[in-house]
Structure 1
Amino acid sequence: MSALLIGLTGGIASGKSTVSRLLVKHGALLVDADQVARDIVEQGQPALKEITSFFGQAVLHADGSLNRAALGAIVFSDKDKLATLESITHPAIRTRMLSTIERYKAEHPNTIIVADIPLLYETKQMHLYEAIVVVYVSREIQIERLVVRNNITLDDASSRVDIQMDIEQKRVLADYVIDNSGSLEQTEKQVIELIQRLVSV
């Protein structure tokens, strides 16, 4: 088989990272949009200069690195500013991801390549992938997990969930769904079944 390119998405705090790790454990190669997003705003990168130019020095630490908490506090409460941030970061993220994907295809022609992209539907990237997998938990579980993970209030967690596309919509649009509401063992069983289905297509 030739390399199979899969888009992996879900909602905030749905457990995409857990599913990504399990896919890698069972033989897939991963291109992680969150990791790429961190890489493209390192000091010296063009995207960080653009962010600083728009949002000001307040989003930087004293050493000149990006203060994610300060930037997050600004954009998660203002959709227009979030859109501006995304207009800076998304093209840079996509370019670097596609470059990595092409390298993986050349080096590993008979494998599954998984692109973990939180905003895959929101950024209209569905056409780039041969199948879309959505990691699903209910909105209530998203909020519960986000409160614990980020140590934020229920209101803050609700706002962060609601700024994204509804998880139920993503579930309907998916080619495959991994329900991450249960135990790690239950999730891993679904991942193994998914890989078996993908390689048999």
Structure 2
Amino acid sequence: MLFVGITGGVGAGKSEILNYLGRHHGTRVMLADEIAHELMEPGTECFEKLAELFRNEDIFQEDGHFDRKKLASVIFADEEKRNLLNGIVHPAVKEYVCEQVQAEREGGVRKLLVLEAALLIEEHYDEICDELWYIYTDREIRRERLKISRGYSDTKIDQIFDSQLSEDEYRKNCQLVINNDGRIEQTLAQIDKALRERHI
């Protein structure tokens, strides 16, 4: 089984690629954000730690869950708080991922397991992934996508871009670069070629 970590800047178009992999190659796709959300539900160890950390912030819904939009605004504007949150959530996500990888390897059925994570490199997933793949898209294309699809302002987009790795860092740390600047068919052809080369 090949375990691939997929990363790239926000707005790079990773979702469509992940959907394609999940549909066409018998692949299990894990999303670090979704895992983190599950681990941040009330009653979990992560939730208790974060509730204490952010007890003075207006980030809770009436039912006791985190208001994710408010939480995101707080951590994108404050690097120290972002680092504190990451220090709680990301080790828990990584532990869960390691358990799933071990289970899939022991199962011996799946040929390809994929993890998408924004902090794939920063959290040293190269230690457990067989390969890291970088989905590259031009910065201005990403900006326009985020304005259209999410309604983000330039200020918010700049905040997000500034919080992520540079293109050089992504390229330096990943074994494969997928260019997603053009038509989706061209991108998927690159994916298919990479999988053929890896006998998947």
TM-score (norm 2): 0.92
CA distance in 1: counterparts of 2:93 and 2:64, whole angstroms: 21
CA distance in structure 2 between the aligned counterparts of 1:38 and 1:167, rounded to whole angstroms: 27
Q: Which residue of 1 aligns with 2:45?
A: 46
SS of the residue 1:118 aligns to: coil
List aligned pairs for 1:1-201, cutoff 5 A. 3-27=1-25, 28-56=27-55, 58-199=58-199
Q: Which runs of 4+ in 1 moved over 6 A?
A: none
Gaps of 5+ in 2: none
Q: Deviations over 1:60-95 (max 9, x none)?
A: 110111101111111101111100110110011111
How far apart, CA to CA, are the structure 1 residues paired with 2:195 and 2:151? 34
Structure 2 Cα separation of the partners of residues 194 and 25 of structure 1: 16
- Distance in 2 (CA, whole Å) between partners of 1:144 and 1:162 is 16
Note the alpha carbon deviations across 1:4-30, whole angstroms, 9 max, x for none: 111111111112222111112221222
Residues in 2 aligned to 1:138 and 1:24: alpha-carbon distance in whole angstroms: 25
What code does the residue aligned with 1:141 have? I
Unaligned runs of 5+ in 1: none
Q: Does the aligned pair in 2 maintain the 1:5–1:112 contact within 8 Å?
A: yes
Report sequence identity in percent.
Answer: 25
> Residues 122-174 of structure 1, C-alpha deviation per residue, up to 9 Å, x if partnerless?
22221221111111102222222222232121111011011111134212432
Q: Tell me the distance in 2 between the aligned counterparts of 1:111 and 1:55.
A: 41
The residue identity in structure 2 corresponding to 1:8 is: I
TM-score (norm 1): 0.91
Tell me the secondary structure at the aligned position of residue 198 of structure 2.
helix
Q: Secondary structure at the match of 2:21?
A: helix
Quote how far apart the aligned CAs of 1:106 are: 1.9
Number of paired residues?
198
Distance 1:146 1:110 in 2: 34
Q: 1:110 to 1:153 in 2, by over 3 A?
A: closer
Q: What root-mean-square deviation, in Å, do the aligned CA atoms of Structure 1 and Structure 2 show?
A: 1.6
Offset, 1:32: 1.6
